[in-house]
Amino acid sequence: MKKEIDSDKAFIRLNNVAKYYEMGESVVKAVDGVSIDIKRGDFVAVMGPSGSGKSTAMNLVGSLDMPTKGHIFLDGEDISSLNESELAQVRGKNIGFIFQQFNLIPTLTVFENVVLPMALQGVPQYEREEKAEKILRRLDLLDRREHYPNQISGGQQQRVAIARALANDPEVILADEPTGNLDTKTGLKVMDFLTELNKEGRTIVFVTHSPELAKKYAHTIYWLKDGKIERVTKERKK
């Protein structure tokens, strides 16, 4: 059962977070002192040009990466010092990821790709198979369940990626350039589905380089430039 949304409390908080990479004798400051508050039920865009640090920021939001300095809080708990095994459990239960390159496992069928995250969380076989079938039906992919990723279209692969992200019923969906490899029509369908999930109570965070996309769908936009937050804007939605 999902928690009741507290609109005044941040579910994910980045507090003065930085991520530095050593490149020979130089240091690349991919993210440099960023603070982000994401509340339950929000629809957030992380916006910026190539090299602005937006994908690194999303990886930090999703605890795929740990900060060089600063703190990351998930539902009030500082997760910055957790080990990788503990972080994997946190991610698996709370966060669903949708990647621009889809990142589906090519040797697994559509159905097996969706089942896998539940298997990693120890969900009983009958339960995960029943749930995978339900999710695939919702995304109009049930007739593709025995296909492999290379046997379906890019748009269908993206929907499989969404189905996989939903497998463990996460509170937060993180999407890195979810329309980047899709034609305009298919990309808008993906964004409309994310909007539908948001209306059901899920928190959506997506990375984009498109101001039009960010303004059309997001409620809150973090504008990044050179690893820093340039500004934060709120968008009015009907």
Q: Which CATH number do you get for residue 143?
A: 3.40.50.300
Assess if residue 58 is contained within a domain.
Answer: yes
199 domain residue, yes or no:
yes
The tokens for 139 are 């995304």
Q: What is the mean pLDDT of residues 35-57?
A: 93
Residue 2 located in a structural domain: no
Mean predicted lDDT score pLDDT of the chain = 90
Domain that holds residue 19: 10-234
Question: Would you say residue 229 lies in a domain?
Answer: yes
Q: Which class for 216: exposed (0-12), middle (13-18), buried (19 or more C-beta within 10 A)?
A: middle
The pLDDT tens digits of the residues spanning 131-147 come to 999 999 999 999 999 99
In this predicted structure, what is the pLDDT of residue 237? 60
Q: What pTM was estimated for this model as a whole?
A: 0.88
Domain membership flag for residue 1: no
How much is the pLDDT for 8? 56
Q: Which amino acid is at 195?
A: T
Q: What local confidence, expressed as pLDDT, does residue 197 receive?
A: 93
Do the domain assignments include residue 39?
yes
Residue 4: inside a domain: no
Domains in the chain: how many in total? 1
- Domain assignment of residue 3, yes or no: no
